[in-house]
Amino acid sequence: MTDHREKRPMITLYTFGPNIGLPDASPPCMKAEVLLKMADQPYQLDHTSFPKAPKGKQPFMDDAGTIVADSTFIRWHLEQKYQIDFDAGLSPQERAQAWAFEKLCEDNLYFAVAHTRWVLDENFQRGPAKFFDMVPAPLRPIVRTLVRRKVVKSLRMQGIGLHSGDEIVQLATRGIDALADQLGDKPWLMGNAPCSADASVFATVAGLLCPVFNTPLLAATERHANLVAYRGRGMARWYPDFKVA
């Protein structure tokens, strides 16, 4: 576990941990940690408790005995318990726009990125296959195959996995271009200060720019200098000591 604040009542955030040159290989896990940083809440990280995940996925959070699963419910818990408004200063219309871009990242781009990592053999070997290195060697090939099969099935059930590779790239590129257009020359998604959606958008852009995977989505994101600079600002603000691969 890693303690990230002084001695105050402690939140435990359960995540996968640093991998593939990112603070966390999972965008939702990065989003949840960034929200805690934005909220200035003391927390510690635990990378060992995936089998205990109440919804079978991470992140989840233990706040003084209250278990909160899913990054969006973590956000709402922080807002309600600690009286935080991550979108302070935004109009109702701007809040709606921010929510729409957050869902673009989480309900579209997330699955396109997962497809490039888990379905394409070369990328799977470069990244997800190594996630299982802690599994005992005799069991590792079995566990790796079963989990990969489960992820591929979930991508088909979600819908993205039913498309061809070219079609997935077309859909994701449209979303990447939309993010770049919305960001424009602003430092953050909606203006001069980060809002709730920036936690998700930053995590998504960081994942898209991960150099471990040589994909058309990386190229589509690198074409936008403002997205590359945005990733840099987010890393400097929230992960200043982390060295990007």
Are residues 109 and 44 located together in one domain of the fold? no
Last residue of a domain, one of 82, 101, 118: 82
Are residues 6 and 100 located together in one domain of the fold? no
Question: Can you state the angle between helices 71-82 and 27-39, rounded to 10 degrees?
Answer: 10
- Is the pTM higher than 0.85? The answer reads yes
Last residue of a domain, one of 82, 110, 128: 82
Are residues 117 and 216 located together in one domain of the fold? yes
pLDDT of res. 214: 85
pLDDT of res. 1: 55
Q: In this structure, what CATH number is given to the domain that contains residue 209?
A: 1.20.1050.10
Are residues 60 and 101 located together in one domain of the fold? no
Are residues 161 and 224 located together in one domain of the fold? yes
pLDDT of res. 9: 54
Least Cα distance to 79 among 96, 100, 57, 63 occurs for 63
237, HSE (Cβ side, Cα atoms, 13 Å): 21
Q: How far apart are CA 234 and CA 245, in angstroms?
A: 15
With contact defined as beta carbons under 8 Å apart, do 42 and 6 qualify? yes
Are residues 52 and 112 located together in one domain of the fold? no
Are residues 74 and 101 located together in one domain of the fold? no
Are residues 135 and 224 located together in one domain of the fold? yes
Q: How far apart are CA 96 and CA 93, in angstroms?
A: 5
How many Cβ atoms from other residues are within 10 Å of residue 182's Cβ? 18
Are residues 59 and 140 located together in one domain of the fold? no
The reply to whether 243 falls in a domain is no
Residues with Cβ within 8 Å of 57's Cβ and at least 6 positions away in sequence, in order, are: 28, 69, 70
CA terminus-to-terminus distance, the chain: 23
Last residue of a domain, one of 58, 82, 106: 82
Q: How many domains is the chain partitioned into structurally?
A: 2
The reply to whether 150 falls in a domain is yes
pLDDT 10s digit of each residue in the chain, 245 long? 555 555 555 899 999 999 999 999 999 999 999 999 999 999 999 988 777 788 888 899 999 999 999 999 999 999 999 999 999 999 999 999 999 999 999 999 999 999 999 999 999 999 998 888 888 888 989 999 999 999 999 999 999 999 999 999 999 999 999 999 999 999 999 999 999 999 999 999 999 999 899 899 999 999 999 999 999 999 999 999 997 65
The reply to whether 189 falls in a domain is yes
Are residues 158 and 196 located together in one domain of the fold? yes
Are residues 124 and 234 located together in one domain of the fold? yes
| HEC letters along 151-220 | HHHHHHHHCHHHCCHHHHHHHHHHHHHHHHHHHCCCCECCECCCCHHHHHHHHHHHHHCCCCCCCHHHHH
Q: Are strands 43-46 and 11-14 parallel, antiparallel or unpaired?
A: parallel
Residues 77, 68, 14, 115, CA torsion sign:
negative
- Its domain, for residue 11, covers 2-82
The reply to whether 31 falls in a domain is yes
Are residues 122 and 228 located together in one domain of the fold? yes
Q: In this structure, what CATH number is given to the domain that contains residue 23?
A: 3.40.30.10
The reply to whether 87 falls in a domain is no
